[in-house]
Amino acid sequence: MIEIILDTIIDAAKLIPFIFVAFLVIESLEHKFTKTNEKLISTNKKVGPLFGGILGLIPQCGFSVLATDLYVTRIISLGTLISIYLATSDEMLIILLSEKVAIDIIIRVLLVKLVIGILIGYIIDLLLRKRKVEKKKDHYDICDDEHCHCDEEGIVLASLKHTTKIILFIMAVTFVVNIIMEYLGNSFIEKIFLKDTFISPFISSLVGLIPSCGSSIILTELFINKAITFSSMIAGLLTNSGVALIVLFRSNKNMKENLKIVTILYLIGAIAGLVFHIIGI
């Protein structure tokens, strides 16, 4: 047990410098270009899903929340919102880079999320193009919503807080995974996710819907530890949009519409994962 704890601490400690620098860069870009991002995805609705998908790949803590706000106020379309949700990388990209996963796998993950996000976004907008757009309402403040107080504390302290949260969660996940592998074996996790079966993507998609950065970390770490397949990881990462779903259900009073959005995300993630499973990717 002591050896497992030490291994967990050492593994997590190795990631701290990289994750801190990554969050420092992200915080700088996020606060500098938040208004620019908003303008890009809201000025021309015809290219909303395109810009939304591209910007969604950037691992920003508040971009999917910003997109939710813009959708609730009907500044962006449903297709643009879905494209951002599907493309959102959250902590996945940081974990893959910090764990030194092969660059071709990272590129493949990003391309899959980008292409599917943009494609589905345009399809949805095409189907709903006759829908009337409501007038703009008041905006939410991303930092207030995320309770990070970045403007007050500065990007360094904010980055330290984000890094601490992520490292602690990584340690918790790694510790649990290490214990399971040590005492129950890797096959235990494989059985839970029904690895190498067509049902696995459907289970991963449910995990991805958990409104937290933790779900993307869990799925990514399980893939790195070969407990789930690439197709299952993709299924879960497509449905994960950070804490955005919490904001959606809290801010958008149309619960029927919210449930439709969740259903769309789940089906897209599960079906995409199933397709990749069938073709053996």
More confident residue, 136 or 65: 65
Per-residue confidence (pLDDT) for residue 280, from 0 to 100: 82
Distance, in Å, from the CA atom of 93 to the CA atom of 249, rounded to the nearest integer, reads 26
Q: What is the share, in percent, of the chain residues with pLDDT greater than 70?
A: 80
Cα separations in angstroms, 203 against 39, 84, 122: 36, 22, 27
Across residues 153-182, what is the average pLDDT? 78
Query: Which amino acid, residue 170?
Result: I
Query: pLDDT tens digits for 130-149?
Result: 555 444 444 444 444 445 55
pTM comes to: 0.74
Quickly tell me which residue has 């990289």 as its tokens: 18
Three-state SS letters, 213-254: HHHHHHHHHHHHCCCCCHHHHHHHHHHCCCCHHHHHHHHCCC
Winning range, highest mean pLDDT, from 41-55, 115-129, 157-171: 115-129
